Structures are given as structure tokens and as C-alpha cells.
Amino acid sequence: MNTSKRWLPLTFKIALLTLLLLWTLIPIVWMVLSSFKPNDIITASTPHVFFTPTLEHYTSLFSSGNSLWPYLLNSLFIAGVSTLIAVVLGCMAGFGLSRIRIKGKQHLAFWIISTRMAPIAAVIVPLYLLFRYLYLLDTHVGLIVAYLSFNLPFAIWLMTAFFDDLPPDLEEAAMIDGATKLQAFRYVVLPLMTPGLVTTAILCFIFAWNDYAFAQTFSGPSTQTIPIAAAQLLTQTGIDWGKLLAIGTIVVCPMAIAGLLVKRWLVKGLTLGAVK
């Protein structure tokens, strides 16, 4: 057995781990569980673990006059398009940035990363004026552009990290065999990049799907995304917790599953390749 793994007493280890798991999971489990509770049980003064589950909150979300569908479609469309653009352009630029040797490359890389790190609150102010001036408030294009402001630099930087791990010998060998750079990229490099592309796409999608601040400021009646639907229920007096928890579950579950699917590459993704 691995000696480094034998430390602190086993019971202590289990106790600590259980504590951390409870701390992490209780709110999530409680949200999902409560989204199936009838209203009087949600708002009971003592917590109920046992109850007859109901789908009423979910059905009311999709059937009532103020249906969740438009929000859901807005979210899917805006996050999807912004992800697509970010991944395609980011993949191309990532390859270029990884392979190019020019003076000031580091400054270029720094500029790219610094745009990603800009505080959202500071970015919102000039973008708001710009969007107002260009009539992009309450448009899908506006939100797609806003999400590109963080997803594009993210995709470029992350794809660069993936391309850096791929030895240039592969393309060079293809080029010696007579392929052009474009052919080498298209037929040799790109097929090997599938994990990188999928990871980048999933993370970009999650960032865009999860955004609240940009959507809150730039969206309007016809472009509101699903986090806005949740927030709107929250600000009204007499919160409809059942509906709210159902929305929460709908927002969270697909993203948690998608995120766990790329778990292997998550460290590279979320540290932008800083950890090998």
C-alpha cells in the first residue's frame, strides 16, 4: 500500500470527509428535493424529509401564461451562439498563438488574458452606453457580444494551452509529406483536438448560461434568459419558492452533468492551462 496515503486515523478522515460532503451537498439535495414538495410543506416551519412528491411546480412553469419556454430558448440560443463563435475563432487563434514566433508574443497573450480578467461590473458600464448607442439593448446580438467579451479570450487562451501540449512535429511531418499548413491543421491537428474543443465548448456554454449580471443589465422583455426568470421570481414579494426551486433545478442539473463530463480536463480549463 501507498505509504503517503496512510496518515491521520481513519475515523478522523472519514468524519472530516463526511462533514465536507454534507456541507457541499445538503443545499443541492435540499433544493432538488424541495422542488418536488407541495407548497405547504416547503413553507412549513419545520423541515420535512418525507412527503408525497408532486410535479406541480414544473408543470406550472411550462404551462402557465408566463411560461419558462421563451427564457429557456433565449438562454439556449444566446449561450449556444456565443459558444460556437468563441470555440471556432478561439480554436483558430489558439493554434496561431501556440505556433507563432513573433516579438511581443507574451504581450499579446497578456492582453488576451487581461480582457478575460476584467471585472464584470467595470465592463458593464461602457458596454451599456455602447449598446444603447448602437440599439443593441434587448437584442440577442447584444448579449452574444457581451458573452464573447469573456468567452473569446477564455477560448483563445485555453485552446493555446491545448495546442501547446501537441508537439509541432506532427504537422511538420505532414508538411514534409507535401501537405499545406492548412491541410496539416485540418487533417492532422484538428482531429487530435477533440477533448480540447469539447472542454472549451462546455465551459464557455456554462459561463454564458450561468451569467446573471450582463443579462440583468442588457436584456429586455424579448431577450431575458433563465437566470433572469429566477431573479424575477425572487424580487417579488411573497416568493413562490416551489417555482423558484424548480427553475433552480432546471438551471443547475444540465450544467453540473456537462461540467462533470469534462472533469478530466477541468483543471486545465479552469486554470487556463496554468497547471500541467
Which 178-207 positions form the footprint of another protein (CB under 8 A)? 181-182, 185, 206
Rounded CA-CA distance 65/269 in Å is 40
Rounded Cα distance, 259 and 244, in Å: 23
- Residue 52 found at the interface with another protein (CB under 8 A): no
**159 and 208 in contact (C-beta within 8 Å)?**
no
> Binding segment for another protein among 39-47, 50-58, 65-73, 135-143 (CB under 8 A)?
39-47
Amino acid letter at 30?
Answer: W
Q: Closest approach of Cβ 51 to another protein, in Å? A: 14
Separation between Cα atoms, residue 264 and residue 194, nearest integer Å: 13
Q: Which of 210, 183, 202, 207 is nearest to 260 (CA)?
A: 202
Segment interacting with another protein (CB under 8 A) among 59-67, 76-84, 191-199, 211-219: 211-219
CB 215 within 8 A of CB 27: no
Binders of another protein in range 110-169 (CB under 8 A) = 110, 112-115, 117-130, 132-133, 145, 148-149, 152-153, 156, 168
Q: Which is nearer to another protein, 31 or 70 (CB)?
A: 31
Q: Between 76 and 255, whose beta carbon lies closer to another protein?
A: 255
Note whether 16 binds another protein by CB under 8 A.
yes
d(CA 187, CA 27): 47
What's the closest the beta carbon of residue 191 comes to another protein, in angstroms? 17
C-alpha cell at 220: 429586455
**Looking at 166, 179, 210, 240, which residue binds another protein (CB under 8 A)?**
210
| Minimum separation from the CB atom of position 126 to another protein (A) | 4
- Report the distance separating Cα 269 and Cα 271, nearest Å: 6
Is 109 a binder of another protein (CB under 8 A)? yes
Burial (CB count <10 Å: 0-12, 13-18, 19+), residue 168: middle
Out of 55, 170, 192, 260, name the contact with another protein by CB under 8 A: 260
**For residue 141, what is the DSSP state?**
H
Q: Tell which positions 57-86 bind another protein, by CB under 8 A.
A: none
> Which of 36, 162, 209, 218 lies at the binding interface for another protein (CB under 8 A)?
209
Distance CA 134, CA 152 (A): 21
Q: Counting contacts by CB under 8 A, is residue 43 touching another protein? A: yes
- Residue of 46, 52, 236, 237 interacting with another protein (CB under 8 A): 46
Least CB distance to another protein at residue 98 (A) = 9
Minimum gap (Å) between residue 64 Cβ and another protein: 20
**DSSP letters of 190-259?**
HHHTHHHHHHHHHHHHHHHHH--HHHHHH--TTT--HHHHHHHHHHSSS--HHHHHHHHHHHHHHHHHHH
Nearer to another protein, 52 or 102 (CB): 102
CB of 253 to another protein, least distance (A): 9
Q: How far is the CB of 59 from another protein (least distance, A)?
A: 21
